[in-house]
Structure 1
Amino acid sequence: MDKTSRFLISATTSGSGKTTVTLGLLRALKNRGLNTQPFKCGPDYIDTKYHDMASGSHSINLDVFLASTYHVESVYSKYAANKDACIIEGVMGLYDGYNRMQGSSAQIAELLDIPIVLVINAKSMAYSAAALLFGFKNFYKNINVVGVIFNFVASESHYSYLKDACEDVGLEALGYLPKDTNVEIPSRHLGLNIEKEFIFDEFANKVATLIEKHINVDRLLEITATHKITDVSKEEEKAKSNLNIAVAYDEAFNFVYHENIEYLKRLGKVSFFSPIKDKELPLNSDLVYLPGGYPELYLSELSNNTSMLESIRSYIENDGKLIAECGGMMYLCSSIVDKEGIEYPMVNILKQTATMQYMKLELGYRSFNYNGQCIKGHEFHYSKVEDPENNTSSVTQIHNAKGMEVDTKLIRYKNTIAGYTHIYWSESDLMKLFG
């Protein structure tokens, strides 16, 4: 292709099906042989894993709370350059941000000057879609909504009413997905093991087939086509050191931001290890990163791998530098209790217990100041930490996106920094955290 197709898939509300549509389009374009780059608005690290599997390319987060607008523009141009198609999946509803429109899909679309395709949940809706579409099209004049894809459509007759609504609003109806329980993504709350419990390839191909049948993909690519963009990123090359950086990455620990790993690669040599399968940390590690993930699904394997537990414990006690986030922080606790109340011993560096009992969702943006830096991240978990004797106190006060204090802790033990916050550090001086 001489041109590239670039667009953002958004919706009126969460649950409209934008992830299903995005995944189906990514797989359909891959099946056509197009070099397609996925992106995700916001801090989500589960949707990006789906994108990776659907497209064969690393999905990149675009988030104006976690990073500066310059960084978002730079990262976008870096990965979008010379691609045949770029698809950005939005977050929540089109205009939903952490503070009105701030951080919304609409803000990303305006910042990057890309058209928007709306996904509408058409269940129990016909011509009334016109009023809904008119509002979303005209509410904010600095964005460009170019087309609509309807989801949960009952029949061709149903779709005809929806096409009439689009015509009277001046938007192009690009097609629809029919009601089909075989193409519904399982609940994505933490605890779903998408690698084993969900046959992803089969799902992606089913959606791609429906998309090719019911959506005018050629027209979608045509109305969103523009010149291929040039990589304008001027990524500051940090001094390459001799750091040996070990990153936990397996079935239990895999919630990572791709740009965080790219940052680590600029600091030194990155190697990956498995707390489930490997017996000890990689030799001569100078920095260890334990990301979040699904440790609650592998408690027996993690607890029984006593040589790895001892290796990490010894590394920490000998002043090794380590960052642990969410599931990684749980792994460092004395134990983790599963939903049935069974307790599994863990690394036992943090003298507290993480439990999956009485699960309650905690989520939101987080920021804190530590060692002279403002650090930003995101919190999303169902577990909680029990520390009745207050053995682990926070080294700083953490705030939400609106500056309000939250109870989340940042824990420091020797050169270990741990907490529930998934930090986005691509614009930070990571090693300064240990100062």
Structure 2
Amino acid sequence: MKQKPFIMIGAASSGSGKTTFTLGLLRLLRNRGMKVQPFKCGPDYIDTKHHAMAAGEESVNLDTYMASAAHVRELYARYGTASDVCVTEGVMGLFDGYDGMKGSSAEIAELIGIPVVLVLNAKSTAYTVAPVLYGFKHFYPGIRVVGVVFNFVASVAHYAYLQQACADAGVEALGYIPKDESIVIPSRHLGLSIDETFCFDTFADRVAEVIDKTVNVDRLLELCTVEFSGEQTQDVVCFGNRKIAIARDEAFNFMYRENVEALKRAGEVVFFSPLRDKSLPEADMVYFPGGYPELHLAELAANEGMRQSVRKYCENGGRVLAECGGMMYLCDTITDGDGKVYPMAGVLKQGATMEQMKLKLGYREVRVNGQRIRGHEFHYSRILPTNEKIPVIGTIYNAKDMVVDTPVYTYKNVLASYIHFYWGECGIDHFLMLMSQK
């Protein structure tokens, strides 16, 4: 049984610097010639995109609400096999889950046996981090906190106080990230900036350079090296002769890696662009994932050929699955934040709007036909009231088992919702069967 570094990057809370450190570490290890496999705790589909850009390898979601523990372990083993190091970015605070610790980074660290490196915000504090660190180390014996990296450190003298706190708390100090405006991440309403004006490679290289100078990465790797029992798995085998088309461009790109792999097992996958292609490719099923359609409304509206092609396909009974931004594209219109209305595919007789944006997020469970299907919702847009009665299926619950008003629309063979579903474990055919009204 071989050994390799498993790293879980956790924190006391969101905003501590997990993502900055993760991206810098991924790029630094890649620059050292290591093959890095990134993972992300929880349902986030934006951080994984940036992991891939930093590491040169697609990231994989590890989520114990949407998938079984056995599936999560299998994913880690399968994707980690060919790597030199596995780096997992946590979600929120280390112990924050949808129900106590359930679904938390700590739960996944225990499930797989990943050592935890904390990233703590040291702004406006010094020796007080000692009891914080002591608590993280001793609160839950099922995980192993091996060290800490401090963020927003004002000076070498400041770090010396933090090192003293680490010594007294019994947690190894692995280094720090200084206050530096050049490594502040631009953000937008759904996560890190993906605007063209933001040069991601320059940013990632800069963070990697800083980390290389102020963090003992060699010691971090040493502390996190554990036995790895994963075995090489065979390449994905296509079990079907269907052609499955996936929308993928700047407007539509929020998708779980394992969902796509499940589609590849079900048929031949082809990608197309609703922004640039003039019509749908020949397909037995079309998947419109979420993304940022609101940033490309003029281009989507101007591509009348694609809009007509999508509408014709749906009206003729074509199988379509649309999530969040993909569902919005199937609506009659999308209104931008300034009130300007853009025509969309016109399949669902309703409009979506970015006006009066309000965040709606959380895990979702659809209960339909005695079955349960899980996913996640995260958006700022909303559907406008309409007199049209589009059929809906199932009853939707959140992680606290409370009913929520997030419809799953069905029209002919179209299934559309704000929910990002996860079928990476059960497979797309089983998922569609469960969601079928027939």
Name the counterpart of 1:28.
Answer: 28
Q: Which runs of 5+ in 1 are unaligned?
A: none
Q: How does 1:393-432 map to 2 (within 5 A)?
A: 393-428=391-426, 429-432=430-433
- In the alignment, the residues of structure 1 paired with residue 284 and residue 391 of structure 2 have an alpha-carbon distance, to the nearest angstrom, of 25
Name the counterpart of 1:252.
Answer: 251
Q: Compute the displacement of 1:227 (Å).
A: 3.3
Name the counterpart of 2:40.
Answer: 40
Name the counterpart of 1:243.
Answer: 242
Q: Compute the displacement of 1:84 (Å).
A: 1.1
- In the alignment, the residues of structure 2 paired with residue 191 and residue 118 of structure 1 have an alpha-carbon distance, to the nearest angstrom, of 21
Question: What amino acid maps onto 1:276 in structure 2?
Answer: L
Q: Compute the displacement of 1:286 (Å).
A: 0.3
Name the counterpart of 2:304.
Answer: 306
Question: Could you tell me whether the CA contact under 8 Å between 1:276 and 1:305 is conserved in 2?
Answer: yes
TM (norm. structure 1) is 0.96
- In the alignment, the residues of structure 1 paired with residue 80 and residue 410 of structure 2 have an alpha-carbon distance, to the nearest angstrom, of 38
Q: Helix, strand or coil for the counterpart of 1:369?
A: strand
Question: Could you tell me whether the CA contact under 8 Å between 2:237 and 2:264 is conserved in 1?
Answer: no
Question: Could you tell me whether the CA contact under 8 Å between 1:245 and 1:268 is conserved in 2?
Answer: yes
- In the alignment, the residues of structure 2 paired with residue 231 and residue 4 of structure 1 have an alpha-carbon distance, to the nearest angstrom, of 13
Q: Which runs of 5+ in 2 are unaligned?
A: none
Task: Note if 1:338 corresponds to 2:336.
Answer: yes
Q: Helix, strand or coil for the counterpart of 2:14?
A: coil
Q: Compute the displacement of 1:21 (Å).
A: 0.3
Name which of structure 1's ranges 391-400 and 306-315 shifts more when overlaid on structure 2. 391-400
Task: Note if 1:180 corresponds to 2:180.
Answer: yes
Q: Compute the displacement of 1:228 (Å).
A: 3.9
- In the alignment, the residues of structure 1 paired with residue 188 and residue 39 of structure 2 have an alpha-carbon distance, to the nearest angstrom, of 18
Question: What amino acid maps onto 2:220 in structure 1?
Answer: L
- In the alignment, the residues of structure 2 paired with residue 230 and residue 40 of structure 1 have an alpha-carbon distance, to the nearest angstrom, of 18
Indicate the percent of aligned positions where both proteins have the same amino acid: 56
Name the counterpart of 2:384.
Answer: 386
- In the alignment, the residues of structure 1 paired with residue 161 and residue 361 of structure 2 have an alpha-carbon distance, to the nearest angstrom, of 39
- In the alignment, the residues of structure 1 paired with residue 421 and residue 252 of structure 2 have an alpha-carbon distance, to the nearest angstrom, of 15
Question: Could you tell me whether the CA contact under 8 Å between 1:247 and 1:270 is conserved in 2?
Answer: yes
TM (norm. structure 2) is 0.96
Q: Helix, strand or coil for the counterpart of 2:187?
A: coil
Question: Could you tell me whether the CA contact under 8 Å between 2:183 and 2:207 is conserved in 1?
Answer: yes
Cα distance per residue 1:271-323 (max 9 Å; x no partner): 0000000000112x100000000000000100110110010000000100000
Q: Compute the displacement of 1:342 (Å).
A: 0.2
Question: Could you tell me whether the CA contact under 8 Å between 2:368 and 2:395 is conserved in 1?
Answer: no
Cα distance per residue 1:367-418 (max 9 Å; x no partner): 1123553111000000000123253242221110111000100000000000
Name the counterpart of 2:72.
Answer: 72
Question: Could you tell me whether the CA contact under 8 Å between 1:26 and 1:36 is conserved in 2?
Answer: yes
Q: Helix, strand or coil for the counterpart of 1:324?
A: strand
Name the counterpart of 1:276.
Answer: 275
Q: Compute the displacement of 1:356 (Å).
A: 0.2
Cα distance per residue 1:55-96 (max 9 Å; x no partner): 000100000001000100001100111421110000000000
Q: Compute the displacement of 1:27 (Å).
A: 0.2
Question: Could you tell me whether the CA contact under 8 Å between 1:191 and 1:294 is conserved in 2?
Answer: no
Name which of structure 1's ranges 290-299 and 373-382 shifts more when overlaid on structure 2. 373-382
Name the counterpart of 1:55.
Answer: 55
Name the counterpart of 2:357.
Answer: 359
- In the alignment, the residues of structure 2 paired with residue 16 and residue 343 of structure 1 have an alpha-carbon distance, to the nearest angstrom, of 39
Name the counterpart of 1:13.
Answer: 13
Name which of structure 1's ranges 382-391 and 48-57 shifts more when overlaid on structure 2. 382-391
- In the alignment, the residues of structure 2 paired with residue 261 and residue 415 of structure 1 have an alpha-carbon distance, to the nearest angstrom, of 20
Name the counterpart of 1:264.
Answer: 263
Return closer, same or farther for 1:195/1:411 CA change in 2, 3 Å cut-off.
same
Return closer, same or farther for 1:269/1:372 CA change in 2, 3 Å cut-off.
farther
Name the counterpart of 2:323.
Answer: 325
Cα distance per residue 1:320-377 (max 9 Å; x no partner): 0000000000000110000000000111111111000000000000011235531110
Q: Compute the displacement of 1:191 (Å).
A: 8.1
Name which of structure 1's ranges 385-394 and 72-81 shifts more when overlaid on structure 2. 385-394
Q: Compute the displacement of 1:239 (Å).
A: 7.2
Return closer, same or farther for 1:36/1:170 CA change in 2, 3 Å cut-off.
same
Q: Helix, strand or coil for the counterpart of 1:246?
A: strand
Name the counterpart of 2:113.
Answer: 113
- In the alignment, the residues of structure 1 paired with residue 221 and residue 191 of structure 2 have an alpha-carbon distance, to the nearest angstrom, of 36
Name which of structure 1's ranges 339-348 and 226-235 shifts more when overlaid on structure 2. 226-235
Question: What amino acid maps onto 1:143 in structure 2?
Answer: I
- How many residues are treated as equivalent by the alignment? 432
Question: Could you tell me whether the CA contact under 8 Å between 1:74 and 1:233 is conserved in 2?
Answer: no
Q: Helix, strand or coil for the counterpart of 1:206?
A: helix
Return closer, same or farther for 1:193/1:21 CA change in 2, 3 Å cut-off.
closer
- In the alignment, the residues of structure 1 paired with residue 217 and residue 315 of structure 2 have an alpha-carbon distance, to the nearest angstrom, of 57
Return closer, same or farther for 1:247/1:371 CA change in 2, 3 Å cut-off.
farther
- In the alignment, the residues of structure 2 paired with residue 189 and residue 270 of structure 1 have an alpha-carbon distance, to the nearest angstrom, of 31
Return closer, same or farther for 1:121/1:191 CA change in 2, 3 Å cut-off.
closer
Name the counterpart of 1:4.
Answer: 4
Return closer, same or farther for 1:233/1:82 CA change in 2, 3 Å cut-off.
closer
Question: What amino acid maps onto 1:353 in structure 2?
Answer: G
Name which of structure 1's ranges 322-331 and 345-354 shifts more when overlaid on structure 2. 345-354
Runs of 4+ residues over 4 Å off in structure 1: 232-235
Q: Compute the displacement of 1:186 (Å).
A: 1.5
Task: Note if 1:163 corresponds to 2:149.
Answer: no
Question: Could you tell me whether the CA contact under 8 Å between 1:191 and 1:296 is conserved in 2?
Answer: no
Question: What amino acid maps onto 1:431 in structure 2?
Answer: L
Q: Compute the displacement of 1:240 (Å).
A: 1.1
Name the counterpart of 1:316.
Answer: 314
Name the counterpart of 2:122.
Answer: 122
- In the alignment, the residues of structure 2 paired with residue 19 and residue 185 of structure 1 have an alpha-carbon distance, to the nearest angstrom, of 9
Question: What amino acid maps onto 2:44 in structure 1?
Answer: D
Question: What amino acid maps onto 2:243 in structure 1?
Answer: N
